[in-house]
Amino acid sequence: MTEGVQRRGAGAGERYEVFHTDCLARDVVDHVTSRWGVWVLISLRRNDLRFYELRESIQGISEKMLAQTLRALVADGLVWRKVEPTTPPQVTYGLTEFGRDIGEPLTELFDRITRQLSALDTA
């Protein structure tokens, strides 16, 4: 590979060069670990939710930030979006297989943190 040139993808068995700023894998990691990306993935871990249900489940997120976060996660293939042609449109979101795979360790981390905090409260 030529120095300074980054491939946008990787072939079978190859790794992405995540330390390059234009690496696709790095973009996905940035979206998943963003302030709100983690909470969206955790909120969708059990069932599909409509936009307003997601907004209510993630306290402190604005509609604008939720929309931006969902747009990025949909573009990355982590979340799917379904629009029902009603007035107003009903938009439902859920995790793709990729999103479930990525969300699993996040959920595990979240569960470990809450267990440890609970243990500290009882100590």
Whether 80 and 96 have beta carbons less than 8 Å apart is answered as yes
Whether 48 and 93 have beta carbons less than 8 Å apart is answered as yes
Percent over 90 (pLDDT), the chain: 57
Residue 123 has pLDDT above 50, yes or no: yes
Total-model pTM: 0.77
pLDDT band at 20 (very low <50, low <70, confident <90, very high): confident
